[in-house]
Amino acid sequence: MKSSLVDLGGLNIHISDGILEPRWILFWYVLSAIVIAAGLRVINKRIAVDPVYLPRISLIGAVVFVISVWHIPVPVTGSSSHPVGTPLAAIIIGPFAAVVISAIALFFQVFVAHGGLTTIGANVFSMGIVGAFGGYLVYRSLKKFSPLWFSAGMAGLIGSILTYLMTALQLALSLNPENVMYYWKLYSLGFIPTQLPLAFAEFAFTGYVIEYISRTKQDLIGTEGHGMDRFTKTALVLMVLITSVIAAGAYIGYLGGSDMAGVDSTVETLAAPDADPGGIGVRLMARFGEPLGFAFVGIIGGLFTGYFCTELRRRT
């Protein structure tokens, strides 16, 4: 990779060698390796059916790499930086292939000292897995209800924001394990001046590119999408409704002079007065911080309910 090709500029958020502790290096390597292995399986299956897929993803990967090192103008800051590129890749070649491509691209970026050898796992996880899958999910969810440029743009925006939030979390987990939530917020805030305007630039960039491709080569993106079924729509509507009720309740309470201390005291006196203060739930919350602990509970509860609801519906 000659310097003429990769004249990267601006603050990049790839984690360099020497920052992460060895156990976190190993952790992110293992997690990324699992997804890369799944991605390779998807690619190999696809190649067996459609052999032209191999040169196609390689060439599109090469273009996405070239694009991701191009400077795009960043609004507000007046500077320019390079886009994440993985949401765009995920829309064109699929999220699993995008993860493999991003792993290779990150390996190439090591040649220009962007990122590092020991941090490829962590960078693949934030940029490749979280950025590609996050962006792709947003794109698929919005595609049926909004114009193509908007859904692609939102994929770029959310993918970019998720990437830097994940990078901030990785830094907080490794550098300040005793106070993860505080430092996650701090690193995220530190990235905002450069990364948030960049996310908006990525919105415009991804939206325009996908719009251009859809006009010139529609079969590359595929116009038909999987629309949301009734169950998904109901779940999303309920999610928005309940979140709105909670937010509105909190705001009304705030206007009424409440200290926004949450419902801890109510739960402790009314719902679980005999709860063990040293129980696993309390320890988990203390270890990960409350939002991460509640997110964990939400994920487990949602997966469990969704799985058994489907099973029950299938039986009946």
Partner 1 sequence: MLQWLTTDPLNGIVVTITFFISLIIGRYLREKRSQSGYRGRMIDSRIMIFAAFILIIAMTVMKNWHIPVIISILCMFIALRLGIFRDYTKKIIFPLVLALFILAIQGLTYGVNIIDLGFISVYSEGIEYGSLIFSRVFASASVLVLLVITTPENELLGSMRWFGVPGTIIEICSLMTRYIRTFSYEGKKLKLAQESRCGFSREQGFTKRMHNIASICGLLITRAFARSEEIYIAMISRAWRPGLQYPKDYLPLDKRDIMFGLVLSFGIIGLIGLDRFL
Does residue 183 touch partner 1 according to CB under 8 A?
A: yes
* H helix or E strand, kind and range, residue 81: strand 80-81
For residue 297 the two structure tokens come to: 């509970």
Our CB check for partner 1 shows the closer of 66 and 245 to be 66
| Residue 69, amino acid | V
CB of 9 to partner 1, least distance (A): 9
Our CB check for partner 1 shows the closer of 107 and 288 to be 107
Residues 9-28 that bind partner 1 (CB under 8 A): 11-13, 15-22, 25
8 A C-beta contact, residue 262 and residue 249: no
| Residue 212, amino acid | Y
CB of 203 to partner 1, least distance (A): 10
* H helix or E strand, kind and range, residue 189: helix 180-216
Does residue 181 touch partner 1 according to CB under 8 A?
A: no
Our CB check for partner 1 shows the closer of 46 and 140 to be 46
Our CB check for partner 1 shows the closer of 176 and 250 to be 176
Residue reference for tokens 């960039």: 205
**Distance in angstroms (rounded) separating the CA atoms of residues 130 and 94:** 13
Our CB check for partner 1 shows the closer of 40 and 284 to be 40
Residues 54-73 that bind partner 1 (CB under 8 A): 54-67, 70, 72-73
Residues 69-98 that bind partner 1 (CB under 8 A): 70, 72-73, 75, 92
Residues 191-220 that bind partner 1 (CB under 8 A): 201, 204-205, 207-213, 216-217, 220
Our CB check for partner 1 shows the closer of 217 and 315 to be 217
Q: Transcribe 134-161 into DSSP letters.
A: HHHHHHHHHHTTS-HHHHHHHHHHHHHH
260: left (phi over 0), alpha (psi -120 to 50) or beta: left
Q: Using the CB atoms, write b or e for 263-277: b if 16+ within 10 Å.
A: eeeeeeeeeeeeeee
CB of 55 to partner 1, least distance (A): 4
Residues 108-137 that bind partner 1 (CB under 8 A): 108, 110-114, 116-118
Does residue 177 touch partner 1 according to CB under 8 A?
A: no
Q: Transcribe 246-258 into DSSP letters.
A: HHHHHHHHHHTT-
CB of 54 to partner 1, least distance (A): 6
Our CB check for partner 1 shows the closer of 119 and 141 to be 119
Q: Is 33 helix (H, G, I), strand (E, B) or coil?
A: helix
CB of 254 to partner 1, least distance (A): 27
